Amino acid sequence: MDVLNSILLLEDDESINRGVSFTLKKEGYLVFSCKTIAEAQKAFEDHEIQLMICDITLPDGNGLEFVKKIRCQSSLHIIFLTALDQEIDQVMGYESGADDYITKPFSLSVLKLKVSAYFKKQQGMEEERIESGNICFYVKGMRVLVAGREVSLTKNEWKLLRAFMSHPRQILSKNQLLEQLFDMEGDYVDENTIAVNIRRLREKIEEDSSKPEYIKNVRGIGYLWDKECRK
């Protein structure tokens, strides 16, 4: 099963859980069905999840808080599926990090269409990708997988990674990298900004950031991506 088709379902109502799981599995998706936050947390840690359908009122906690926690670790698509249908509930749902909000009672057909639309969009965005070592960089989708796990990058980290992986084994000066990050007509930016952003990027993609395998320093000149890249 393609990793892009993996779904985490967190719903404690037995009949709804069974119905949603059956419908999505029938469509060919890999569904990890959970009834508690504890189960969902373990599934999230053990598998590469691309989309999560989540209730808010759960037996061992609040779905809003769980989504906030997940959002700090991943950019996966999140759909709330809940009986809480007041405007303030929806506002809180989106503020917690959800991408969509569906209230119960709901149509399985509508949920299926929303899930299908998301994956079709992702497949279109992710046609262009660059691979290097255990890193997979989806250029248009702005997603990065390291050893199969999605890594959340800041905008600047993403720009740096794109610059490096688009020019493997090529030395990039600090000025060239600054041009990737900032509008050079704007305020002057200290070159130390590059060092700080590269340090943070290394911490996210390198197995040991103190002994980098990908981003190497070239003393007095700049940096280079020291592995082959393939598209």
Structural domain spans, the chain:
3-125, 129-225
- 67-85: string of b/e by CB count within 10 Å (b at 16+)? bebbbeebbbbbbbbbebe
The 3-state secondary structure of the chain, one letter per residue:
CCHHHEEEEECCCHHHHHHHHHHHHHCCCEEEEECCHHHHHHHHHHCCCCEEEECCEECCEEHHHHHHHHHCCCCCEEEEEECCCCHHHHHHHHHHCCCEEEECCCCHHHHHHHHHHHHHHHHHHCCCEEEECCEEEECCCCEEEECCEEECCCHHHHHHHHHHHHCCCCCEEHHHHHHHHCCCCCCCCCCHHHHHHHHHHHHHHCCCCCCCCCEEEECCCEEEECCCCEC
Whole-number pLDDT of residue 187:
45
197/21 Cα distance (integer angstroms): 41
Whole-number pLDDT of residue 74:
85
Whole-number pLDDT of residue 189:
54
Whole-number pLDDT of residue 184:
44
Are 190 and 181 a contacting pair, CB within 8 Å?
no
Q: Report the predicted TM-score, pTM, of the whole model to 2 decimal places.
A: 0.57
- Low-confidence residues of the chain, pLDDT below 50? 1-3, 184-188
Whole-number pLDDT of residue 185:
40
Whole-number pLDDT of residue 174:
87
Q: What digits encode the pLDDT tens for the residues 96-137?
A: 999 999 999 999 999 999 999 998 887 765 557 899 999 999
Whole-number pLDDT of residue 2:
40
What is the CATH T-level fold of the domain 3-125, as seen in this structure? Rossmann fold (3.40.50)
Whole-number pLDDT of residue 193:
84
- The one-letter code for the residue type at 212 is P
What is the CATH T-level fold of the domain 129-225, as seen in this structure? Arc Repressor Mutant, subunit A (1.10.10)
